[in-house]
Amino acid sequence: MKSLFIYFLFVYIGGYELQKLSNLEILDLEDNSFNNSILSFVERLPSLKSLYLDYNRLEGLIDLKG
């Protein structure tokens, strides 16, 4: 799987489930209720090239590495 689009998901996605998606290149998590804790999980996706997090509950400055 190279792309995953998840909209209006108001549940917690644990790091274990996301880490199983090691070949994922595009992850779209727009329109959810994720806070900054989701970032520690998605940074563990080695093949990720695009990440969409519009309309979530992220706060403050976010350090982007890549």
- State how far the Cα of 56 lies from the Cα of 35, in Å rounded to an integer: 7
For residue 9, what are the CA distances in angstroms to 30, 36, 47, 64? 9, 16, 23, 24
- At 5, is the pLDDT very low, low, confident or very high (cuts 50, 70, 90)? low
Does this model's pTM top 0.95? My answer is no
Bigger pLDDT: 14 vs 6: 6
Classified as helix, coil or strand, 39 is: helix
Confidence band for 40, pLDDT divided at 50, 70 and 90: confident
Q: Where are the alpha helices (DSSP H) in 1-63?
A: 15-19, 37-42
Average pLDDT, rounded, for the chain: 76
